[in-house]
Amino acid sequence: MDCIKVGDIVLHYRARAAANGAATIVFINSLGTDFRIWDAVIAALDADLGVVVYDKRGHGLSDLGETPYSIADHSGDLAGLLDALAISKAVICGLSVGGQVAQQLYFERPDLVSGLVLCDTAAKIGEPDFWNQRIETIARDGLASVTDGIMERWFSKRFRTSGDPLFSVSRSMFERQPVEGYLATCAAIAGFDRRADTATISVPTTVLVGSEDGATPPDLVRGFADAIPDSDFRSWTGQDICPASKHPNRWRQPLARWLHGCIKGACAMTQHEGPTARHNQGMATRRSVLGASYVDKRVAATTEFERPFQDLITEAAWGHVWSRDNWDKRQRSIVTIALLAALGHYEEMVMHIEATVRTGATEDDIREIMLHVAIYAGVPTANHAIKLARQALERMKEGKNE
């Protein structure tokens, strides 16, 4: 049994290393399930392919963590797991909420994603009132009180009444999920809406849906796929939301073929990465260093006159230099602050000092930077830089830098 601590929680996972230079596929399970739903699919894949499956926080054997959740919390867990396993440029396959986690991972950490396979999912699923009502009912009456309704949304009547043991197992898996984790993830789905960003997805993407899916209707999923440039949409006739559980022998071979096709496209994209992918990488790195709120405000205020310059620094500074893995963010933060102070670019220096809450550079690091600036760039330069740095650090301690 493999487990790893990521942030404040322990994740239960299983991983198979890629062989002979093959790609890695990461599977993300749906709400109310655990990673065993992918067993039949994994069995159909080429043995050389790397595979990672894991239980989301609050699901299966993984820790509950602090509730409520956001999809960004789930995405951060997966990013931490992949970083710990030294995996990047993987094909990410997510089912339902797992597909939303895959989308968020792409927007936040495009360096980890070479392709997407998004199953029975969308950029927004349901309205908050629907999810809030479900949360209220389960909190009051328990998971068993909604099992019949959930099973109707997951599976066709024919399958539910067929006597197939897989239906009984799926029902038990749902009812045995940690209630707190299920409710927290419902809240995360209620708060997730990336429709405005869907058109920026630029990696090879396949979108799949079961024609009998009652949770994410085919029309919803088709509209989602249409918004993704050059995506490949497939509707699987007679299938439900959990094709990994129902009729695995019918479903695993088509998915395996689509996964292999996505892998080929993703590998080609990695070898010929274009400016859009570089821009997306830069935006993700920029947000992780300077903070999403700051970057979003700056982008929103960008005029057409400024846009070419903003594209330049996003792609060159953030998408290339800051995204290189030779140095970590703390090292790049230290060098950047030192250069800006030495050159007298104090406004930019202060911005990067405030960013140290995300890069990991410390007050001690900043103190050492100023000593070097004094020796190599002059005492007057360092004197003014120290004054501004001290003021910035004081604001940060008071929580006034946002």
- 209/290 same-domain check: no
pLDDT-derived band at 273, boundaries 50, 70, 90: very low
Burial 81-115 (b: 16+ CB within 10 A, else e): bbeebebebbbbbbbbbbbbbbbbbbbbbbbbbbb
pLDDT at 179 over 90: yes
- 315/345 same-domain check: yes
pLDDT-derived band at 214, boundaries 50, 70, 90: low
Domain stop point among 271, 296, 330: 271
Q: Are 174 and 147 in contact (CB under 8 A)?
A: yes
- 144 domain residue, yes or no: yes
Distances (CA, A) of 320 to 51, 192, 273, 315, 317: 28, 29, 12, 6, 6
pLDDT-derived band at 197, boundaries 50, 70, 90: very high
- 360 domain residue, yes or no: yes
Higher pLDDT, 274 or 127: 127
Query: Cis omega before residue 68 (within 30°)?
Result: yes
Rounded Cα gap, residues 312 and 72, in angstroms: 27
Q: Are 12 and 36 in contact (CB under 8 A)?
A: no
- 140 domain residue, yes or no: yes
Residue partners of 286: CB distance under 8 A and separation at least 6: 295, 314, 318, 322
Q: What is the pLDDT of residues 46-72, one digit of tens each?
A: 788 899 999 999 999 999 999 999 999
Domain span at residue 312?
275-397
- 402 domain residue, yes or no: no
pTM given for the model:
0.65
Domain count, the chain: 2
* Residue 117, beta-bridge partner list: 93, 206
- 47/133 same-domain check: yes
Domain stop point among 236, 271, 306: 271
- 210/293 same-domain check: no
Q: Are 384 and 345 in contact (CB under 8 A)?
A: no
- 53/159 same-domain check: yes
Cα angle 356, 360, 366; round to 5: 55
- 224/258 same-domain check: yes
Question: In percent, how much of the chain has pLDDT > 90?
Answer: 53
* Domain at 346, CATH number: 1.20.1290.10
* Residue 27, beta-bridge partner list: 53, 93
* Domain at 244, CATH number: 3.40.50.1820
Q: Are 20 and 7 in contact (CB under 8 A)?
A: no
Domain stop point among 271, 295, 317: 271
The token duo for 328 is 């970590």
Cα angle 26, 122, 254; round to 5: 50
- 293/210 same-domain check: no
- Scan for tokens 């020796």, then name that residue: 375
Segment 351-367 mean pLDDT: 94
Which pairing describes strands 9-16 and 24-28: parallel, antiparallel, or unpaired?
unpaired
- 20/62 same-domain check: yes
Q: Where are the alpha helices (DSSP H) in 1-127?
A: 39-43, 71-84, 97-108
- 146/178 same-domain check: yes
CB atoms within 10 A of CB 188: 26
- 241/285 same-domain check: no
Q: What is the pLDDT of residues 291-334, one digit of tens each?
A: 877 887 787 788 878 888 988 998 899 988 998 878 889 999 99
Q: Are 78 and 90 in contact (CB under 8 A)?
A: no
- 39 domain residue, yes or no: yes
- 224/279 same-domain check: no
The token duo for 181 is 């984790």
- 199/279 same-domain check: no
